[in-house]
């Protein structure tokens, strides 16, 4: 790794003990002071799942590497693939081969490449708060509607960046139920006024 980090003056390799030194450190070859800033991850050893060789004739081989043992089957095309070719799609626990991953029409592969998502939590929160604070009367409809939409969109794909999606859905459900209860109380009080109940004078 030191061969990749070289002195700007003599091009000599800078050893790890001279990295990230406050104020820099002199080069062990030319003595010129320089400052080498690196991330700690540069010293981490990269580990991954590799391909295993076939142990017996009865074992299935990888479609792309016939000499390697098949680990899983591609969920899209059904081909047997080795650990080197296996692309884990993450959330749903699926496995996709490199060919299907490169195909935009492959179900599940596109989810790993999404750069934008519909923010359903913001939509239902806007419906709830907009109907209540700006017009009030539409909250008779937007209150229950926002609860239904929050439950409907609960399992939809979330944002590609971390955000408080679940908390927003819960807030919408609570506010929607409170608004529905408020309107129920209003109509109940109107129905219980003297002269408006059953048998009262019209």
Q: Over the stretch 53-96, which tens digit does the pLDDT of each residue have?
A: 665 666 788 988 888 888 888 888 888 998 888 887 665 557 88
Distance, CA of 1 to chain centre: 33
Q: How many angstroms separate the CA atoms of 56 and 41, rounded?
A: 39
Give a yes or no: residue 194 inside a domain.
no
Reading phi first (left if > 0) and then psi (alpha if -120 to 50, else beta), residue 24 is in: left
Q: Assess whether 86 and 141 both reside in one domain.
A: no
Pairwise CA distance, residues 165 & 171, whole Å: 10
Q: Are residues 159 and 103 part of one domain?
A: no
Give the helix, strand, coil percentages of the chain, each rounded to 5: 35, 10, 55
Pairwise CA distance, residues 79 & 61, whole Å: 10
Q: Tell whether 128 and 183 lie within a shared domain.
A: yes
The domain total for the chain is: 3
Residue 14 forms part of a structural domain? yes
Kindly state whether residues 107 and 52 are assigned to the same domain: yes
Instruction: Examine the domain organization and report whether 5 and 56 are in the same domain.
Output: no
193 found inside a domain: no
- 109 burial level (CB within 10 Å; 0-12, 13-18, 19+): buried
Q: Judge whether 200 lies within some domain.
A: no
Domain boundary among 113, 147, 166: 113
The model's pTM is 0.40
Where does a domain end: 113, 131, 146? 113
Residue 11 neighbours by CB under 8 Å, 6+ apart: none
Task: Give, for all 202 residues of the chain, the pLDDT tens digit.
Answer: 444 678 888 888 888 888 888 888 888 888 888 788 877 666 665 555 555 666 566 678 898 888 888 888 888 888 899 888 888 766 555 788 888 888 766 665 555 556 667 888 888 888 888 877 776 778 788 888 889 988 898 888 777 667 778 888 898 899 889 888 888 888 888 888 876 555 554 4
Read off the DSSP letter of residue 52: P
Do residues 128 and 184 share a domain?
yes
Query: Cα dihedral sign for 67, 69, 74, 79?
Result: positive
Out of 67, 89, 113, pick the residue that ends a domain: 113
124 is in which domain, residue-wise?
120-188
Q: State whether 64 and 107 are in the same domain.
A: yes
């Amino acid at each position: 790794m030191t061969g990749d980090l070289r002195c700007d003056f003599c091009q000599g390799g800078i050893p790890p003990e001279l990295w990230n030194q406050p104020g820099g450190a002199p080069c062990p070859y030319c003595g010129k002071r320089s400052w080498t800033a690196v991330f700690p991850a540069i010293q981490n050893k990269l580990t991954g799942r590799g391909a295993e060789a076939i142990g017996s004739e009865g074992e299935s081989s990888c479609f792309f590497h016939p000499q390697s043992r098949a680990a899983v089957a591609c969920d899209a095309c059904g081909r047997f693939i080795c650990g080197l070719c296996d692309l884990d799609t993450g959330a749903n626990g699926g496995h996709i081969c490199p060919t299907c991953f490169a195909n935009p029409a492959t179900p599940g592969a596109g989810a790993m490449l999404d750069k934008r998502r519909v923010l359903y939590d913001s939509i239902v929160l806007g419906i709830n708060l907009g109907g209540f604070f700006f017009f009030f009367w539409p909250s008779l409809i937007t209150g229950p509607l926002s609860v239904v939409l929050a439950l409907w969109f609960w399992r939809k794909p979330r944002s590609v960046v971390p955000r408080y999606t679940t908390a927003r859905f819960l807030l919408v459900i609570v506010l929607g139920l409170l608004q529905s209860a408020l309107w129920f109380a209003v109509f109940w009080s109107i129905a219980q006024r003297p002269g408006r109940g059953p048998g009262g004078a019209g």
